[in-house]
Amino acid sequence: MYKASPLAKKIIKEKNLIIENIKGSGPNGRIIKRDLIKKNEEDNLKFKTIENFQEEQPSQIRKVIAERTSEAFKNIPHFYLRIESKIDKLINLRKIINNTNIKNKVSLNDLFIKAVAIAQKNNPQTMCSWSNNKIIKYKDVDISFAVALKEGLITPIIRSADKKGITEISKETKNLIQKAQKKELLPQEYNGGTITISNLGMYGIDEFDAIINPPQSCILALGHAKKKIIYQNDEMVTATVLKSTLSADHRILDGASAAKFLQNFNKIIENPLEIWIKSKDLKLN
């Protein structure tokens, strides 16, 4: 804490002055008004103030995000599990689908949504939430996915995603994204969900920890898939590797149950035959 006379402190506070490199000439090295004037004259400037900012009112979405994430991070005991997946077969499946279905191109994120839906259906203990010291269990697999808007994030939902095919999920995802961008989403299209997918791979982010989206019990953060040299079957090979991080609510899930879900998701995207089998709207030659 700097030493200054009461008058100097008042001037410093009122003018929001930067007082670095100002030597006090008062008793015991105190900064006095004369020192502020001298510094001003030496710099040939008016009092140096911080003016390179402006205040801005946050959007309603940003206010909700601030409230929900603060509450979630404060009240939900997060723990994190990470896994690396080789997704060359998944990428190849996408190419086959898009070469066959020219009018309805699917994204990797569409395939991730289906894979998460299958994994969650196989691990129903992750389909729950904590409310008033009770565990709420859900029957339907409803997958939320994060959409970045200028005002902040919103998480539209693919309802009963485990029962839908890839083409159907892809069409629905595109429609929900368009509605989100136009601010036309209805509350039932973004409230609820049993798990959220947050994918920052398109921004080149390798991996990250996401904050759980209440009242859900977990959120899956997907990073950037990139080529790596790995050791496999006693030889060095090149593979496309994706890093995934599961944030889980320790009030509901323990390490083993969360790990089984993540392990299952990994198995599905590394060998995506199950995605094809459980997507009855796919017709591959």
Q: How far apart are CA 223 and CA 29, in angstroms?
A: 54
Q: Catalytic residue among 250, 260, 267, 281, which?
A: 250
Number of C-beta neighbours around residue 5 at 10 A? 17
Q: How far apart are CA 185 and CA 155, in angstroms?
A: 10
β pairing state of 134-137 and 78-86: unpaired
Q: How far apart are CA 78 and CA 247, in angstroms?
A: 6
CA 52, chain centre distance (Å): 30
Which among 125, 152, 143, 270 is positioned nearest to 219, based on CA atoms?
A: 143
Say which residues have a Cβ less than 8 Å from residue 70's Cβ, sequence separation at least 6.
none
State the SS3 of 109-176: HHHHHHHHHHHHHHCHHHCEEEECCEEEECCCCCEEECEEECCEEECCEECCHHHCCHHHHHHHHHHH
Residue linked to tokens 């989206």: 213
Specify the DSSP class assigned to residue 231. E
CA 261, chain centre distance (Å): 19
250 catalytic, yes or no? yes
Q: Which residues are catalytic?
A: 250
